[in-house]
Amino acid sequence: MTFDDIWLLFIFMQTELILVALLGGVLALDNTEAFQTMLSQPLLVGPAVGLLLSDLEGGLRIGVLLQLAYLWVMPIGTADLPDPTVGSLVGCAGYVLLNRLFPDKPYLLLFLVLLFTIPFSQLCGWGLIQQRRLNQRLLPRADVCAEKADTRGLSWLLLWGLGLSFLRGVVFSVLGLVCILVLLKPLMDLFNPVTDLHLPNLQTALWGWGMGTMIYLFGRKGHLPWSACGVLLGIILLLI
């Protein structure tokens, strides 16, 4: 893949890439700082990306699998964990966009997207920790504003913190989209002759991983009623 090919690819997809990057900023806010509507979970990130890129089915397919892979992640304090929100957004967008070019290799594409998304989510997690450390530097100023009852100053500090989170989401989304398209497009060309015969087992393995994680997290005696209600609701939605 030449530089001209990469440049033409980005020009062709520029509007969609900008929309996905802005969505990354909103989702970064939703994770902890602002809305907390659960839209930042991969299960909802996938369909949201799919709607933006006119492939709801593809977005939902990859979003469900990434949700199963990241069920264990909880954004608590300064714990060194991956950031599945922005990472999943990049993975879902990369899968949907590249699936247009390689519609006959869905499992090979899924395999390569997962290989990229998992370490990239770790990088996004590092970025999240750096942002929180930067926010901690604002605390002394916030204390001064609180002592002086300076509500305007507190509002500006709050907006500054929210702006940093939005900017982090946009920057890492752009970085991830550039990397996933530049790296995975040549790899798909290289491995295009490889058959998809055994790769569906990867999807089965992810389902098994997710089910095991769900049992571990929600299979305790006090959680069983809620788990049963969730499973029943999911079955009803599938049948509708």
Tell me: the pLDDT tens digits for 31-51? 777 777 777 788 888 888 888
Dig out the tokens for 210 from the structure: 């997710």
| pLDDT computed for residue 221 by the predictor | 62
| pLDDT computed for residue 231 by the predictor | 64
**Which phi-psi region, left, alpha or beta, contains residue 56 (left: φ > 0; alpha: ψ -120 to 50)?**
alpha
Of residues 105 and 172, more confidently modeled: 172
Q: Is residue 237 predicted with pLDDT exceeding 80? A: no
| pLDDT computed for residue 115 by the predictor | 85
Of residues 20 and 4, more confidently modeled: 20
Q: Are 40 and 87 in contact (CB under 8 A)?
A: no
Position 7 confidence tier, pLDDT thresholds 50, 70, 90: low
Describe the crossing of helices 14-31 and 3-12 by its angle, rounded to 10 degrees: 70
Tell me what the pLDDT averaged over the chain comes to: 76
| pLDDT computed for residue 224 by the predictor | 65
CA 212 to chain centre: 21
Position 217 confidence tier, pLDDT thresholds 50, 70, 90: low
Residue 65: φ, ψ to 5°: -65, -40
Q: Letter for the amino acid at 140?
A: P
| pLDDT computed for residue 148 by the predictor | 75
Q: CA-CA distance, 115 to 28, in Å (whole number)?
A: 22
How many CB atoms sit inside 10 A of residue 14's CB?
10
Weakest-pLDDT range from 111-115, 130-134, 174-178, 231-235: 231-235
Position 23 confidence tier, pLDDT thresholds 50, 70, 90: confident
Dig out the tokens for 39 from the structure: 């839209």
pLDDT tens per residue across span 59-76? 888 888 888 777 766 655
| pLDDT computed for residue 126 by the predictor | 86
| pLDDT computed for residue 78 by the predictor | 52
